[in-house]
Structure formats: C-alpha cells, structure tokens
Structure 1
Amino acid sequence: MQLDQSTRETGWGGTVPSALDARVLGLVVVTAGLAASVNVPYGGVPFAAAAFVLLAGTGVVVHVLGERKLRRITDGLVERWAEAGGEIETVTKSATGMRTEWTVRTSDGTITIGGIALVPLSRLSIEWQGVGDTMDASEAAANMDQLAATLYEEIFEIGSPSQRA
C-alpha cells in the first residue's frame, strides 16, 4: 500500500551554500594594510604589524559574522517558502559588486537575496522581477516568520503566472 503524496522533484538540497567573498576579504586586508602603514612613522614596524593583524582580524571576523547572518536569513526564508508549498529549484551563490548574494530559482521566477555582509552594517535586500526591498538584517531576522509569509504571498501566490491570468 502506498500513501498518496505529491512528490516534488527539486534541485534544492535543503541547504544554502556558503558565500564567503574573497573580494570583501581582499578589501579588508588592503584597507588594514593601508591603515597600519600610517603607524610606521609613529610607532615603528612592530606597532604597524600589530595594527595590521588587529585590523585585518577584526575585518575578517566582521565579514564572516555578516555572511553567516545573511545566510541564516536566506536559509530561513527559503525553508519557510518550501514548507508553505513554494517550488524551490536551486539556491546558488552569486555576486554583484561587493554584495554577498544568493540566487533562488523557483518555478515562479528568480529571487535574489543578499546584502552587505559586514555585521554592524548588515543590510538585507530582496529582489524579484526587478523590484527590490532593503531592510536591516537584524530586523529581518527578528521578524522572519512575518517576512517569509509576506514574501511568499507576493512571489508564489499573487506573482505566479497562473494567479495573474
């Protein structure tokens, strides 16, 4: 006896790929190097080296924490959409400028979720069909259920081609 269940074949494996960005990390290292070089005339090479290590280390940590925050939000949104019945095909890492982004391919179109992955400045942006919205990442994380429900309604219910006909 077989239970009557709809089986949905999707390319999404249930996880959002990591998006550590070498460009952002490179920018952090270059900026730390420039800032540390200012210290050479005042504190010498040892002081400049210590400043470089401190600044570069802090910058890397800030980027990693920002990326994790954006990734958790993206994962939470996609997971809630899939649970609500949205057909998620794939979630891939993408890059535009200095932003950390994921491209979510669905049966209803492509959604780009991302933002600036630096923890005190983390901003989340969501773009679908050329229309985008930006908000503070902490605010998005705190209101994840409401955000996911609102976006699901816009993207999968109102925005689907079958609903517009």
Structure 2
Amino acid sequence: MQLEQPSRETNWNGTVPNAFDIRILGFVGVIAALAASVNVPYGGVAFAAVAFVVLAGAGVVVHALGERKLRRITDGLLERWIEAGVEIDDVTRTSEGMRTEWEIRTSAGTVTVGGVALVPIARLSVQWQGVGDSMDASEAEENLDHLAESLHEEIFEIGTPS
C-alpha cells in the first residue's frame, strides 16, 4: 500500500518578477531636478533642461541595470537551490525603503533577497529568520555558485529541524 503525499500548492511560475521601482525613479527625478536647477544661473533654463534630461536618463539606466543585476542573481540562486532539491512555493516582489527585494517562500521559511538597485553601488542582501548578510552585487554575481552553495547549507541544511 502506498501512502499519498499531500500535494503542495505553489504560486510560483518559475520566473523572478520584475522589480522596476517607481520610487527609485522618483528619487532619481528629484535629484536630477535639483542638480539641473544649479545650472540655471550659469547656463540658463535651456541648459538646465538639457542637464535634467541627461541626468534623469542616466538615472533610469543606472536603476534598470541595477535591477537586472539583482534579478539575475536572485534567479541564479533559485536555479541552484532547485537543483539542490529545495521546493520553492512562491517568489514575490517586495520593497522596503529604497531597496528592491524578492521574498522567496520555501518549506524552511521565507528568504528575502534584494538590495539597492543602482548599478554603481548595487549591493545584494540576503535575510532569513532575522539574520542578514550583504555584499557587493558584482562580487555576488562572480561567485554565484559558491554563494548559492553556502546559503543553501546555512538556510536549508542547518536551518531546518531534523
């Protein structure tokens, strides 16, 4: 006789949701406007308008690249964890302050992966059960295999009761 395993409901479709954040874009717009307004006495309104467009455009690109980098890292972590046998129930986008984050719900609990999505200063942070760690996003991307392995060991092997 074979016992039936209860089926696990998952809401995850296999992709990490997009995290383009309007709050960060608003922040970029305000900073661009302030920086451009400094140019009004020196170059006139036309020069300030051009400076605003250039600064705002650069800010949007910087955010888009930072978001893509954090999303790639999160997706890479998920792929490696799934290969190691972790069951992912759901991945949702959250945001706290100026941080872009994804909540990953697993049988071991909720793991929050995210960070600041601005490419020159992009930092990855991982939080689980109130404990967190952060590192430079470029460093995390370069060492993704090692990062995924060490996080898997810490969260899913040590963290789950036997």
1:120-156 CA-partner distances (Å, limit 9, x unpaired): 0000000001110000000100000111011111111
In the alignment, the residues of structure 1 paired with residue 79 and residue 55 of structure 2 have an alpha-carbon distance, to the nearest angstrom, of 36
The residue type equivalent to 1:119 in the other structure is V
In the alignment, the residues of structure 2 paired with residue 115 and residue 149 of structure 1 have an alpha-carbon distance, to the nearest angstrom, of 20
What's 2:28 paired with? 28
- Aligned CA distance change for structure 1 residues 86 and 67 (closer, same or farther; 3 Å): same
In the alignment, the residues of structure 2 paired with residue 128 and residue 121 of structure 1 have an alpha-carbon distance, to the nearest angstrom, of 23
Does the alignment pair 1:37 with 2:6?
no
In the alignment, the residues of structure 1 paired with residue 160 and residue 11 of structure 2 have an alpha-carbon distance, to the nearest angstrom, of 20
SS at match of 1:161: coil
What's 2:158 paired with? 158
Q: Contact 1:125–1:133 (CA<8 Å) still a contact in 2?
A: yes
How does the TM-score come out when normalised to structure 2?
0.93
* CA-CA distance at 1:99 after TM superposition: 0.3
* CA-CA distance at 1:8 after TM superposition: 6.5
The residue type equivalent to 1:43 in the other structure is G
How does the TM-score come out when normalised to structure 1?
0.92
In the alignment, the residues of structure 1 paired with residue 101 and residue 147 of structure 2 have an alpha-carbon distance, to the nearest angstrom, of 18
1:35-84 CA-partner distances (Å, limit 9, x unpaired): 10111111001100000000000000000000000000000001110111
In the alignment, the residues of structure 2 paired with residue 32 and residue 73 of structure 1 have an alpha-carbon distance, to the nearest angstrom, of 29
1:99-130 CA-partner distances (Å, limit 9, x unpaired): 01000000100000010100000000000011
Structure 2, unaligned stretches of length 5 or more? Answer: 1-6
What's 1:3 paired with? none
SS at match of 1:73: helix
Structure 1, unaligned stretches of length 5 or more? Answer: 1-6
What's 1:97 paired with? 97
In the alignment, the residues of structure 1 paired with residue 98 and residue 55 of structure 2 have an alpha-carbon distance, to the nearest angstrom, of 19
SS at match of 1:20: coil
What's 1:52 paired with? 52
In the alignment, the residues of structure 1 paired with residue 130 and residue 111 of structure 2 have an alpha-carbon distance, to the nearest angstrom, of 9
What's 2:73 paired with? 73
In the alignment, the residues of structure 2 paired with residue 43 and residue 27 of structure 1 have an alpha-carbon distance, to the nearest angstrom, of 24
RMSD: 1.1
* CA-CA distance at 1:9 after TM superposition: 5.3
In the alignment, the residues of structure 1 paired with residue 8 and residue 144 of structure 2 have an alpha-carbon distance, to the nearest angstrom, of 25
What's 2:3 paired with? none
What's 1:148 paired with? 148
In the alignment, the residues of structure 2 paired with residue 9 and residue 61 of structure 1 have an alpha-carbon distance, to the nearest angstrom, of 37
Q: Contact 1:125–1:135 (CA<8 Å) still a contact in 2?
A: yes
In the alignment, the residues of structure 2 paired with residue 50 and residue 22 of structure 1 have an alpha-carbon distance, to the nearest angstrom, of 22
